[in-house]
């Protein structure tokens, strides 16, 4: 099972490395639809500032490398949370 989890993490990190170079610069369907129907009277300001807006690290700029770093951080955070939750919730073997 450890090899399976480690293999999944490696695949996720490889996808994270390739994603900024393969992604389209056009907005996705949800973002495009929101731009068409959004009410101009409604504020679009965020309640909280994102630590990595638009999948980039602000201090690294709008570079694809910044996107790679941001996505890898996201993958590791989500993996850590999921693994930790699974560890806490797993049944103890008798």
Provide the 10 A C-beta neighbour count for residue 72: 14
Give dist(CA 43, CA 2) in Å, integer.
Answer: 47
CB burial readout 29-55, b (16+ within 10 A) else e: eeeeeeeeeeeeeeeeeeeeeeeeeeb
Enter the pTM of the model: 0.69
Say if residues 64 and 13 touch (Cβ distance below 8 Å): no
Q: How many CB atoms lie within 10 A of CB 19?
A: 14
pLDDT of residue 60: 81
Here the tokens at position 51 are: 């630590």
pLDDT (tens digit, 0 to 9) for every residue of the chain, 94 residues total?
689 989 999 999 999 899 888 876 766 677 777 777 777 676 767 778 877 777 788 888 788 888 888 889 999 999 999 989 988 988 776 5
């Amino acid at each position: 099972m450890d090899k399976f989890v480690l293999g999944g993490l490696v695949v996720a990190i490889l996808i994270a490395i390739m994603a900024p170079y393969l992604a389209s610069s056009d907005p996705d369907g949800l973002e495009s639809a929101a731009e068409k129907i959004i009410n101009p009277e409604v504020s679009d300001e965020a309640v909280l500032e994102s630590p990595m807006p638009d999948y980039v690290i602000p201090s690294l700029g709008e570079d694809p490398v910044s996107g790679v770093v941001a996505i890898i951080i996201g993958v590791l955070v989500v993996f850590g949370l999921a693994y930790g939750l699974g560890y806490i919730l797993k049944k103890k073997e008798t």
